Structures are given as structure tokens and as C-alpha cells.
Amino acid sequence: MRTQILIIGSGPSGLLLGQLLGTIGIETVILERASREHVLGRVRAGVLEQGTVELLEEAGAAARLRAEGLPHSGISLAFDGRLHRIDIEALTSGRHVTVYGQTEVTHDLMDKRDAAGLTTIYKAANVTLHDFDGKAPFATYDKDGVTHRIDCDFIAGCDGYHGVSRKSVPDRALKTFERHYPFGWLGVLAEVPPADHELVYANHERGFALCSMRSTHRSRYYVQCPEGDRVEAWSDDRFWDELRRRLPEQTAASVVTGPSFEKSIAPLRSFVAEPMRFGRLFLVGDAAHIVPPTGAKGLNLAASDVRYLFAGLRDFYRDKSMAGIDAYSGKALARVWKAVRFSWWMTTMLHRFPDTGDFGQRIQEAELDYLVHSRAASTALAENYVGLPY
């Protein structure tokens, strides 16, 4: 088999890149190691920057998002037992975010790819990338007991942190930067209305909490938990009690409880791999970088990578120009590091660290107080939250 672009991974970044390339007649094949059902079963983020929404519109995959997504013009920070709202729309000349689950984005893009008759190969085992440092890259994989080969012009590694793409790069060619945070997020999904019509980020002496949602009837809540905690130790009742303890009284009173249908603990880390291009192999999204979910940047960073790579590949096939491809890694990383900084800042400002101490606690309190009372500081948060320019 031969294609122009081979995409490794059928998550949102791989599907979005394939959809955008398909709109301008560039051939793609997607290789995915898991089943379609497994990919659709992943529960992930749900806050989309305006730029991500616009890119989905460009791909022709935003009809359901526009009908069901929840535009948000602000967020609230909870501390001192009170809510402090940041009007991100007013501070950014009308820009906002949209709450729409990553699973729904994946579903919409899968449906568009199916409708276009484009090839996605699921349950592809032992995927191996070859000769991407030359002019004729290809990949091999096993399926149904047979080894197959796909030749291509370029390979887009959209297969996440644990995927084969970054692992295929020689260690000497890759530099990584990493920070682990000494706690996790215990999250639940429940079919209950959200406690607030916008997201609430809470700083509390017992630890961080987040009130989020996926729709007007499905809520996503998180509490900071110690590193090494087990999900089995958290009954629904214990979770709801702990969440309400960390929220201002009026917000806690608005929390509607119910049985959770998904509960998990996610570790928090910051990770960046440089560069993001190796000959004819490009790293995209989580294959190249991970951020704590505090800043709602994971999926949005993957979308910005796709935007830069799509533009470079479009120019290559349309104008025979390598300029966009050559610029991909530098452009993507410049935006990545700003998002890494923002996510790190939000995380350090809102969480209780084991070594915070009395001094560190006073610094957090001063930072939060300054943030909500300074228009300049609030504007900086708002600009980053809605997404920096591409």
C-alpha cells in the first residue's frame, strides 16, 4: 500500500490532520494499535480554545459542536471561601472557550472520515517506522497474522506519549524536559447537572478542586489527591463529601450528587521533547508534549501542532515549498512552551504541595488576591486561557 501521509494514531490530532488534508485532496492512511471502541472509550478533556473550534470548522467537523457545545465567557477562582469570576470574554475582546468533550470531538472526526471513505486500520500490531531520515519512509505492521507495509512521503506521529513515533527517534537526536508533580487528580463523571454554569477552580487548605462539565446534565469533578492513592479507596460518598469541603458554601450547596459512571486518578506532569521533526517524521500532540490539565491545554496544543503541520504539508504539495515543513518544529515549540508555562503556573498557584509551608501558602494567597484585583493580571490569565495566537 502507498499513501502520501501516513498518520500513526487515531486520536483527535491524527483524525483532525487527516480530515484537513482530505479537504484539499491529500491522501492519508491512519494506523491505530487499539480498537475503534477503545479509542472512543477514552475519557479526556473538554475545554476547547476558540482557535481549536475554528480549526474543526475548517475541517468540516463542527456541526454537532456548534449545536451541543457550551460557550463559556469566564471562569471562577474559589478561595477565601468566595468565588472570584474572571470575565475572559471582556478581557480578550470577545474571545471565549467552548466546553465539548474530547470523546465527542473524536466521534465527530471518525464519522467524517468514515463518510469520506478514508482508510483507518485499527488493531495494527508491532508498528515499526523505517527510513524516515531519508526520502522514502515506510512503516510495517502486523494484522491477522500477516505483516503489511505502507510506503509514504511523510509520517505524522500522533500516537501519544506511549506511542511508537517518539520511541523510534534515536536518543542522541532527542532532548526531553520533564517535571513530575507530587499529587494526582481524582476525577469522576456523573449524570448530574453542574454546580456552576462555568468552570470553578478552587484553592483550599485540603487541596485543589475543579468543578467542570461535559453538558448541562453531565458533570466532571476533580479533587487533588496524594500521589499513590488508589481509586478503590474512594467511594462516591467520600468523593462528594471531600469535593464539597473544598468549595465555597454557595457552590458546595449547588453540587448535585449521584452515582459516578467513570472514576480515575490521573498523575500530573509536564513533558516536552525537542525537536518535533526528524527528517520526514513529525511528532504531534502528546507524542511530543504533556501538560497538567490545570490550564486546559492538552487537546488544544495538539490542535495547534496540527495547524502548523497541515499548513506545511499543504504548501509542500501545492507549491513544492519546504518552508512550512522546515519551520514546523520551531513554530510548534514556541507555542508549546508558552502553554507549558501557563499550565505550570496554574498548577503551582492552585494546588497544595507537600513543601508549601506557611510562607508558600501566603505567597499563593497573595498571588490569587493580586490576580483577581489586577486587570493586567486577569488579562494575562484570560489571554492564555482562551489560547494565544498561532
Give dist(CA 236, CA 59) in Å, integer.
Answer: 40
**Which one of the listed residues 289, 297, 331, 351 is annotated catalytic?**
297
Q: Which of 100, 181, 308, 385 is catalytic?
A: 385
Return the SS3 of 270. Answer: strand
- Distance from chain centroid for Cα 365: 28
- CA 383 – CA 389 distance, rounded (Å): 9
Paired residues of 157 in beta bridges: 8, 283
For residue 197, what is its C-alpha cell?
A: 454554569
| Euclidean distance between CA atoms 326 and 315, whole angstroms | 11
> Is 201 considered catalytic here?
yes
CA 66 – CA 105 distance, rounded (Å): 11
Instruction: Pick the catalytic residue from 201, 221, 222, 328.
Output: 201
Helix (H, G, I), strand (E, B) or coil at 30: strand
Cell digits of residue 183:
499529587
List 210's β-bridge partners, or say none: 201, 222
CB atoms < 10 A from the CB of 12, how many? 28
Catalytic residue check, 96: no
Q: Are 191 and 236 in contact (CB under 8 A)?
A: no
Q: Which residues contact 34 (CB under 8 A, 6 or more apart)?
A: 122, 123
- Is 297 marked active-site? yes
Q: Which of 176, 175, 224, 221 is nearest to 194 (CA)?
A: 221
Q: Which of 72, 112, 204, 351 is catalytic?
A: 72
In this structure, the strands spanning 125-130 and 200-202 are unpaired
DSSP state of 61: -
3-state secondary structure of 177: strand
List the catalytic residue out of 12, 137, 194, 293. 293
Burial of 183 (0-12, 13-18, 19+ CB in 10 A): buried
- CB of 211 closer than 8 Å to CB of 259: no
Structure-block grid coordinates of residue 97: 472557550
SS3 171: helix
Give Cβ neighbours of residue 128 (< 8 Å, ≥ 6 apart). Answer: 139, 140, 141, 164, 168
Q: Which residues are catalytic?
A: 72, 201, 293, 297, 385
